[in-house]
Chains A and B, each alone.
Chain A
Amino acid sequence: MQYLSIMADFTVFLEKLNHVFIEKDRYKQMLIGLLNTFKITAGALVVGVIIGVIIAAVRTSYDKNKESMALNKGFGYYALSIINSFCKFYLTIIRGTPVVVQLMICYFIIFANARDGIPVAIFAFGINSGAYVAEIFRAGIMSIDNGQFEAGRSLGFNYLQTMKSIIIPQMFKAVLPTLCNEFIALLKETSVAGYVGVVDITKAGNTIAGRTYNYFIPLLTVALIYLIMVMILTKLVGRLERRLRKSDR
């Protein structure tokens, strides 16, 4: 008897699933949403890492060189001080306001003429993520023993070469887990893209829920998709970390 009732429940569930996703090809909307979530996350990640590298470079070179440059204050000193202050200003603004507000300001004010929300979302999330990535990189660089820097400089590498060949590779290894967490946070944060008319996976699920009067299935499906993506990412980074750790045996 019980077996039969489970079967019946299951049939009902399948019907609902059919109604929610298959009828009117609604699953296609989910796929489009998923693709857009990928696009925004990947795009924002690239923008964020580029911004993060630049800002971390400015901030750390200012911190490391201000003492020696202050001795003979030249153009470089003033230029670096101004750029450094600008970076600090950017970090304060971005980290002091909610990302969804930044997104809406970008879409409705700065790019008010934009017809496609996706590039704007990539821009907004990239700018936002850049602030966090910058601080991750900066903390990473600061965590590397200054002796490494001195060893590089005393071999004859200039500042940038030392950073590139010696400090950055070690920094990258040190910050990888934190960077991955930032990436995962970014993936989840893109779920507010719907505020500027972008159909991401969350928006798609929500729209289907409204059309079919079924919230349970679409929203749990959306949650499950995020969860699976995060779990895959976590696994990949774990593997990469283990490979990088070979030198610490």
Chain B
Amino acid sequence: MTDNVLIRVNDLKKHYNGGAVKALDGIDCEIKKGEVVVIIGPSGSGKSTLLRSLNLLEIPTSGQIYFEGTDITAKKVNINAHRQKMGMVFQHFNLFPNMTVLKNMTLAPVKLLGKQKAEAKEKALELLKRVGLEDRADAYPSQLSGGQKQRVAIVRSLAMNPDVILFDEPTSALDPEMVGEVLDVMKELAEDGMTMVVVTHEMGFAREVGDRVIFMDDGKILEEGTPEQIFGNPQNPRLKDFLSKVL
């Protein structure tokens, strides 16, 4: 395996109801270090299932996922250690409502990485500054706008120094005027070289920031390529059909 491959997925399947629903039906793909991979496809095509399988929030029915060379679907693997290196950003933010922004960001670094509180706080404040929220450190999530919540969720995962961040429709729950501020943060992250896997309906983002675009339907990858190929010269009829509806 070439060592710039961060995640390799091998014939991944996820079935529900004893195989009646094939959410993932044989997925093979690779995510390289520093790459921004955007996953697109119609509703129910398996995008979330694939993304959530990458950190085993969904347990695959069969197939392997190699993360930094380790097969994390193997029985003996301590998945928690690997998850520390895989950040995740959710559609509905999932901030801890009973904790301040700062506590949201320092909880895992202090408890899992054994950082000193002061050190974790310093790093959190620095990250908040990067996303323009340094003055909201002591706010509770309920006091933030949707866009602010998602920016906090992003820096919360950054506080763990992950090697990759998985985004599941990070802007879908936002009011339109807040989508931009979140996409800007993601774009900056991409420019800084963060490896990102992004499920999104924001085709503008896919085209502009994505290094590679994966099109899924019916639990399969039907086409993948650069944004230029996918948007400029699509081959698969279902991709063409999908693009004609969303563009």
A147 touching B97, Cβ below 8 Å: no
Chain B residue at minimum C-beta to C-beta distance from A148: B94
A169 within 8 A of B: yes
* Per-residue contact bits, chain A 217-249, to B (CB 8 Å; 1 contact, 0 not): 000000000000000000000000000001111
A170 touching B86, Cβ below 8 Å: no
Chain B residue at minimum C-beta to C-beta distance from A173: B98
Q: Complex formed: what's the CA distance from A234 to B175 in Å?
A: 41
Of B20-28, B105-113, B189-197, the segment with at least 4 beta carbons within 8 Å of chain A is B105-113
B59 touching A156, Cβ below 8 Å: no
* Per-residue contact bits, chain A 59-71, to B (CB 8 Å; 1 contact, 0 not): 0000000011001
A156 touching B88, Cβ below 8 Å: no
Chain B residue at minimum C-beta to C-beta distance from A151: B94
Residues on A with beta carbons closer than 8 Å to the beta carbon of B57: 150, 153-154
A151 touching B90, Cβ below 8 Å: yes
> What total of chain A residues lie within 8 Å of the partner, measured CB to CB?
25
> What total of chain B residues lie within 8 Å of the partner, measured CB to CB?
29
B96 touching A166, Cβ below 8 Å: yes
Q: Complex formed: what's the CA distance from A169 to B96 in Å?
A: 10
Of B75-83, B125-133, B204-212, the segment with at least 4 beta carbons within 8 Å of chain A is B75-83
Of A5-13, A20-28, A78-86, A157-165, the segment with at least 4 beta carbons within 8 Å of chain B is A157-165
A156 touching B90, Cβ below 8 Å: no
Query: Are A157 and B143 CB-contacts (below 8 A) given A147-B92, A166-B96?
Result: no
A155 within 8 A of B: yes
A150 touching B111, Cβ below 8 Å: no
Query: Are A156 and B97 CB-contacts (below 8 A) given A150-B57, A165-B107?
Result: no
Q: Complex formed: what's the CA distance from A171 to B24 in Å?
A: 34
Residues on B with beta carbons closer than 8 Å to the beta carbon of A97: none
A155 touching B84, Cβ below 8 Å: yes
- A247: contacting residue among B75, B88, B94, B99, CB under 8 A: B99
* Per-residue contact bits, chain B 89-125, to A (CB 8 Å; 1 contact, 0 not): 0101011111100000001100110000000000000
Residues on A with beta carbons closer than 8 Å to the beta carbon of B186: none
- A148: contacting residue among B84, B96, B112, B157, CB under 8 A: B96
A72 within 8 A of B: yes
B49 within 8 A of A: no
Residues on A with beta carbons closer than 8 Å to the beta carbon of B112: 155-157, 161
- A158: contacting residue among B75, B80, B96, CB under 8 A: B80
B83 touching A153, Cβ below 8 Å: yes
B142 within 8 A of A: yes
CB distance from A176 to the nearest CB of B (A): 12
Identify which of residues 48-76 in chain B touch chain A, using a CB-to-CB cut-off of 8 Å.
Answer: 55, 57, 59, 75
A151 touching B96, Cβ below 8 Å: yes
B157 touching A155, Cβ below 8 Å: yes
A→B interface (CB under 8 Å): 67-68, 71-72, 145, 147-148, 150-151, 153-158, 161, 165-166, 169-170, 173, 246-249
13 A-B pairs (CB sep. < 8 Å): A145-B92, A153-B57, A154-B57, A155-B84, A155-B157, A156-B80, A156-B108, A156-B112, A156-B160, A157-B112, A161-B111, A249-B140, A249-B142
